[in-house]
Amino acid sequence: MLIATFVAGGLSPSPARAASRVSPARKTAVVEAVARIQPAVVSIASEKLSASNARWPFSPEESTRSRVSGMGTGVVLDRRGFIITNHHVVDRVEGIEVRLNDGAGTTLPARVIQSDPVMDLAILKVDSPRPLTEALIGTSSDLMVGEDVITVGNAFGYENTVSVGIISALGRNVTLSDDQVYRNLIQTDACINPGNSGGPLVNIKGELVGINVAVRAGAQGIGFALPIDDVLRSAAEMLSTRRLAATWHGIATESRPDDEGVRLLVSQVQSTSPGEKAGIKPGDQIVRVGELETRNPLDLERALLESQSDVPVAVVVKRDGSEVSTQLAVRALSRAQPDAGDQIWWLLGVKTRPVSAATVSPVSRELHGGLYVSDVLPGSSADRASIQPGDILIGLSVGERHWETILPDNVLHILRQPEVSGAQQLTYYIVRSNSLYRGSITILNTQAANGTMRR
């Protein structure tokens, strides 16, 4: 058997130059789709410390650790250098580098600015002297089993590797390990290999419909991707003006596909918020913010990310078939709204403070932390749901959607989700006396039965 020992990469003809010499008849839909997505795909390299014996990380000696190289893939979400990838690609790593697919092999240092361990997503930031090419965002709401899809990624270190397949199934729930459970995944037989993690799954139009996340060990042609609609909800929260710029607009949105494409609709406008002051109403379609056309919740956050507090930004909404222009001025959090802890106290009736994973690890090693309940308001939703001081809130769910509650912001993010705003109750998960419990909590201002709890 011959074994290849060359280094992945190397020189190759310029794709643009090679494409100029071929017949137009050879430029299939797949070729065109790859050409659209490839400039937005990056390769990620990193290093992490790995254990050389069973004592680490409990032993502080440096001699028990060795450096291990890591690799993965990312997708450019914003030309200012915001890149999405999997959390597991950059978790506890050092020296992250991103290699652009710009024809020059430009390599830039990157830093993790936000992460969502539950969704297994992270946002990287690079400082590029030139605007990056953004991926064309599609929707996963209308995907069909049997539909053609394409993956691009840093497979086994072979950068920009392209594979083609179909969607094999939708809505898969997969337990990858004791530490990671995925829900609502896209299953595909397009090749996904080590190094593809965090890379794009695109449709035949070159639109991003998923982020590759896992493969079935020992199987062939069984790979999984996170649906882009779920990814965008997480990415919008991670890139929110509230998190990155400490400003507030008070508008909750959702994407909705129709015959004309994907529209961004307002699902909720918070009272006394900048959005309410601008005259924006639930049901409005946000067409454009500043110079950016908006089709998903992430677009709204991107458009407002560099807005200065109290400086108006032009917004165009469509209402009752007509376009309406208005001005939206974000406000600083310090005087725009209470902090997350105060809001949770008013909404649910609990005062909380974050605790580390070590606090809840005796119950389960899967947990990443939680919110310690220090006080419960008598007669509140939490009180009626039998939550007590000393409990540690570790998660909330509705239907098939599950979220961890590590920070107060997580709770507010959950309560803003479309499927939550219309629900009568949420299931909560708590740690009490080193045991795990669950119960039901009412989130609307309605009279409800006392929460039940079972072990």
Nearest alpha-carbon partner for 311 in 336, 327, 288, 329: 329
Q: Which helix (H) or strand (E) holds 30?
A: helix 29-37
Q: Which amino acid is at 158?
A: Y
Q: At what angle do helices 408-415 and 340-347 cross, to 10 degrees?
A: 50
| Residue 249 designated active-site | no
Q: What angle do CA 142, 254, 136 make, to 5 degrees?
A: 60
Q: Which of 43, 46, 115, 197 is catalytic?
A: 197
120 noted as active-site residue: yes
Catalytic residue among 88, 115, 116, 255: 88
| Cis preceding-peptide flag for 57 (omega within 30 of 0) | yes
197 carries an active-site annotation: yes
Rounded CA separation 201/192 (Å): 10
Put residue 10 in one of left, alpha, beta given phi > 0 → left and psi -120 to 50 → alpha: left
Longest CA span, the chain: 75
Cα–Cα dist 284/208, whole Å: 25
From residue 101, how far is each of 17, 36, 208, 216 by CA, in Å?
15, 12, 17, 28
- The three-class DSSP label of residue 455 is coil
CA distance 298 to 366: 29
The structure tokens listed for 62 are 């440096």
**53-74 per-residue burial string, b: 16 or more CB within 10 A, e: under 16:** eeebeeeeeeebbeeeebbbbb
**Side-chain-facing half-sphere of 246: CA atoms under 13 Å:** 5
Per annotation, catalytic residue among 78, 116, 120, 299: 120
Which residue numbers are catalytic?
A: 88, 120, 197
